[in-house]
Amino acid sequence: MSTLQQRRPTAPTTGSPNEKILQTNIGSSDTTPLVASNVIRTLLLFTAAMVICPIGSYFVTVNTIFRGNSTFAGGFAALVANVVLIGYVVVAWKDDVEDGSTKSNVGTGVRGPAEGKKEK
């Protein structure tokens, strides 16, 4: 029987900057998700709304409000699609502002918009 061995990249011996990166990545296992679950939930909610709301508004209004005029019902469905899209932009903007004000990048090596600018 053979045993499986984990292959590790060999660090260069020249003292290059890549040596530090390779040494810090060997043995580290980061399992945090790249995208937060509330972002995925919001995206899925607005994706469903973008499909359901315009189509539903078309079929509800074509025979009730607009009395068979499909042009006006289609225009109303386009308006509803734009409202859903604007709603998503507003929610995403607020979520991004809330995340930026509560989290601190101090000590992580991550630079924010204000930290990246050089002072004169």
Per-residue pLDDT of the chain (120 residues; tens, 9 = 90+): 555 555 555 555 556 666 555 555 555 677 888 888 899 999 999 999 999 999 999 999 999 999 999 999 999 999 999 999 999 999 999 988 887 765 555 455 555 555 555 555
Domain that holds residue 62: 35-97
The answer to whether residue 109 sits within a structural domain is no
45 belongs to a structural domain: yes
Residue 117 covered by a domain: no
> Residue 13 domain-assigned?
no
Cβ–Cβ under 8 Å, residues 65 and 85: no
Number of domains composing the chain: 1
Give the predicted TM-score (pTM) of the model: 0.58
Would residue 44 count as lying in a domain? yes
> Does residue 64 lie in a domain region?
yes
Closest residue by Cα to residue 71 from 81, 61, 80, 83: 61
- Tell whether 92 is covered by a domain: yes
Alpha-carbon 72 to chain mean position: 34
pLDDT at residue number 24: 56
Q: Please report where in the chains the tokens 């060997």 appear, as a residue.
A: 26
pLDDT at 114: 54
Determine, yes or no, domain membership for 110.
no
